[in-house]
Structure 1
Amino acid sequence: MLSRDITALAQADAMRRDFVANVSHEIRTPLTVLAGFVETMQSLPLTEPERAKYLELMAAQSARMQTLVNDLLLLSRLEGSPLPGVNEVVDLGALMAQCENEARGLSELLHPDDARPQRLYFDAPPPFELTGAASELRSAVSNLINNAVRYTPAGGTIDVHWERLPDGGARLSVTDTGPGIAPEHVPRLGERFYRVDRSRSRESGGTGLGLAITKHVAQRHGGELQVSSQLGKGSTFALVFPPPRVRPLPAGAAAVSALAAAA
């Protein structure tokens, strides 16, 4: 008699089935809406304003499907590529400048005429560098900051802060004054397609894959995604990187960074 433990195989099979079911559901919803609008435009005489409105809604659903496919492709690429090496140095100053411009643009788009705009605070460029894949790190950092912008109400505050840890590692924290997250949801936030509030996530354009991508990028760089939240008071999402990934800035770059911080 031979016996074999197939727990891991069964878990992998269950994950595959859940993943396929989730992808099918996420794509089916905008596809159904899109098909409905097409049928309406084909079968009913519409005024020009009605036609323009339906086309705008169809474009939004198409963009949602495209975003979902792009996120799925990114996850697949992350899983199939070798781990980032330690020879590629990431310019955190440039990376954070891109993310800040993107976040401020998104905030203005979400609250264009609001009397109480969001307050976004970004630290000066950190006095150190990271090694790894710049495109992956940009996706991870951008996901955390843009999520904070999307879920923080008008008049709220978002604080983005880099720090060097006592063990030589580094930590990026994104703290917001949004609605916060109930404790039972926090352990599942890195799961694919898991959403605390499905309707709100879809309204804000989320695919349910952003935090999964962020968590995967952190793990590929030897780090982790940390989440702390208090319902009704806000949340802090942090990326922690190990000491081998952190390097001090070269002398010239350090001086420029110091001048930027003083300014």
Structure 2
Amino acid sequence: MSRLSLRFVTLGVATPVVALFGLAALAGLYRGADAALALIFVGFLGASIMLARNLRLLVAWARQPVGTPAPQGEGLWGQVFAELGGRIQRECEVKERLSAELGRFQQAAMAMPDGVIYLGEDDLIEWMNPMAEQHFDLDRRNDLRAPLQNLVRQPEFVAYLRSRHPAEPLVMHPARRRDRSLQIEVVPLAAGRRMVLSRDVSQLERLENMRRDFVANVSHELRTPLTVVGGFLETLIDGLDDFSREDVVHFLTLASEQSTRMQRLIEELLTLSALETGAPGVGEAPVDVSELVDEVFRETELLSAGRHEIRLALDGGGELLGSRKELHSAFSNLASNAVRYTPAGGHIEIGWRAGAGGGEYWVRDDGIGIDLVHIPRLTERFYRVDRSRSRETGGTGLGLAIVKHIVTRHQGELKIESQPGAGSRFAILFPASRLKSG
């Protein structure tokens, strides 16, 4: 019982006793000592009965669930009960607020994309969220109150957990999911408790690997033509008078071709960068598909220079909602690839058809074809089936990556069918919502 409660109980007993002695003194003056003693006895008896009854009320109330209304006491006991009831009510309200805050915190922790584990003494698991269960392959129903190091036994993790003040987060691969990378951090809490935070950084690690590969590929792709150009120029500078005019023209022509290749690579890198970063594209407008496909067909004929038999197949026209510049880039990329990878004398078909289900642009050839194992990776930057052949044909390894992004921006789908030695068919499918019949 608090000091305030004891003060009220004392006051509730002392006040009637003081009044009783006052009455006894008056009785002694007028009626004698016997009357005074009788009055004192009766008063003490009445006060004792009232005190016992109120104490029983207090004990019975204390045994009730928290929040039970305070009893109605007699005299000052009523004020005592009211004060005690008010204090308990205020403490219950504080407790409810704290419980609600804790509930909201736990809900937030349960929904976090990172794993959270609370460790008590001896690193026993007190609580964990679902993401931590996934990261560490744990089960909240069975693993609570178990030592974390007994459940996650990877040596690097156990050593990191035993280090009471780790300087840097730990990056590890879970034993059962080697393709996943976790970043682990231990945060000290009060009373010897700790919190283990885990974050899946697999995608970040893949992006970092892609960035390194990208830098290496770009450096490699630029180094080759730069070496050729530099070598020809150095040769001509050192011995211009030793070469005939035909040799000089040959060297400069080769240097120009390599310079053009570098320029094309840089332009495609800028285009791909804009597409991958989600930069706003050129304003969309209705594009006359027949006119666009016919333009790509004529450009393909010029690129082939008579080495292939090229056929145009148009089945319906209409208008396609999109960026003409981007669509031209995608269509011409597929057509130029067919020219590069189809031997002289081969056949190439460029076509378009429109129907109720949407539109389809395709390029078919009977060239060298692609093995099925390579098809899923064809749209990766710098991925080549045959690297040496790609350099011979002047490919940059970025064309299909650009096509993939353009198709995605136009809510389309890129389909690739190929067979080694039998040729390939690349098709772009556009939804009906982007097609307006002519």
Map 1:200-211 → 2, pairs under 5 A: 200-211=389-400
Instruction: Determine if contact 1:83/1:221 at 8 Å carries over to the other structure.
Output: no
Q: Does residue 1:26 correspond to 2:226, yes or no?
A: no
Of 33, 42, 46 in structure 1, the residue corresponding to residue 243 of structure 2 is: 46
- Structure 1: which 5+ residue stretches go unaligned? 112-117, 250-263
| Inter-partner Cα distance in structure 1 for 2:317 and 2:288 | 11
Pairs within 5 Å for 1:97-108? 97-108=294-305
Q: 2:405 aligns with which of 194, 216, 225?
A: 216
Q: 1:16 aligns with which of 197, 208, 211?
A: 211
Which residue in the other structure is 2:384 paired with? 195
> How far does residue 84 in structure 1 lie from its aligned partner after superposition?
7.0
Deviation of 1:68 (Å): 0.5
Does the 8 A contact of 2:365 with 2:423 survive in 1?
yes
Alignment of 1:126 onto 2:321: no
Residue deviations 1:177-213 (CA, integer Å, cap 9, x gap): 1011111111111111111122222122211111111
**Residue 159 of structure 1: aligned partner:** 349
**Structure 2 unaligned runs (5+)?**
1-195
* Count of residues in Structure 1 that have an aligned counterpart in Structure 2: 240
CA contact (8 A) 2:371 2:420 kept: yes
Separation in structure 2 between the aligned mates of residue 165 and residue 194 of structure 1, nearest angstrom: 34
Please say if 1:248 is aligned against 2:402.
no
| Shift, 1:220, TM fit | 1.0
Structure-to-structure mapping, 1:42-81, within 5 angstroms: 42-44=237-239, 45-80=242-277, 81=279
Give the match for residue 44 of structure 2: none
Q: 2:417 pairs with 228, 233, 254, which one?
A: 228
Q: Deviations over 1:235-254 (max 9, x none)?
A: 101111122212212xxxxx
Tell me, what secondary structure is at the counterpart of 2:368?
coil
Q: Distance in 2 between matches of 1:100 and 1:78?
A: 25
In the aligned structure 2, how far is the partner of 1:42 from the partner of 1:155?
41
How does the TM-score come out when normalised to structure 2?
Answer: 0.52
Query: CA–CA distance in 1 between the matches of 2:415 and 2:429?
Result: 7
Deviation per residue, 1:155-177 (Å, 9 max, x gap): 211112223356x2221121101
Tell me the TM-score normalised to structure 1 length: 0.85
The structural deviation recorded for 1:5 is 1.3
Output the CA distance in 1 between the equivalents of 2:351 and 2:249.
Answer: 43
Q: More deviation in 145-154 or 22-31? A: 145-154
3-state SS of the aligned residue for 2:372?
A: coil
Partner of 2:328: 138
The C-alpha deviation readout for 1:27-51, integer Å capped at 9, x for no partner, is 0111111111122112223232222
Amino acid at match of 2:219: S
Separation in 2, partners of 1:107, 1:248: 32
2:233, 2:351 → 1: CA distance? 46
Relative to structure 2, which stretch is displaced further, 131-140 or 240-249? 240-249
Greater shift in the superposed pair: 15-24 or 240-249: 240-249
Residue number among 256, 280, 294 corresponding to 1:82 in the alignment: 280
2:427 to 220, 238, 245: 238
Residue 254 (structure 1) aligns with: none
Structure with more relative contact order (C-alpha pairs < 8 Å, separation 6 or more): 1
Partners in 1 of 2:345 and 2:221 — Cα distance?
Answer: 32
* 1:215 to partner: Cα distance: 0.9
> Which one-letter code corresponds to 1:160 in the other structure?
I
User: For the Cα contact (< 8 Å) 1:84–1:220, is it kept in 2?
Assistant: no
Please report the RMSD computed on the Cα atoms of aligned residues, expressed in angstroms: 1.8
Displacement of 1:128 in angstroms is 2.4
Instruction: Provide, for residues 56-115 of structure 1, a one-character-per-residue CA deviation record: whole Å limited to 9, x for no partner.
Output: 111111111011011111112223423677x61111122112101101111116x3xxxx
Distance 1:128 1:222 in 2: 18
- SS of 1:207's equivalent in the other structure is coil
- Mapped to 2, the partners of 1:134 and 1:96 lie a distance apart of 11
Q: 2:290 aligns with which of 85, 89, 93?
A: 93
Match of 1:186 in 2: 375
Cα distance in 1 for partners of 2:203, 2:274 equals: 23
Give the conservation status (yes or no) of the 8 Å contact 1:92–1:126: no
Partner in structure 2 of residue 177 of structure 1 = 366
- For 1:46 and 1:83, the matched residues in 2 are separated by 49
Q: How far apart, in 2, do the equivalents of 1:51 and 1:160 lie?
A: 39
Letter in 2 for 1:200: R
The answer for the alignment partner of 1:3 in structure 2 is: 198
Q: Which has the larger radius of gyration?
A: 2
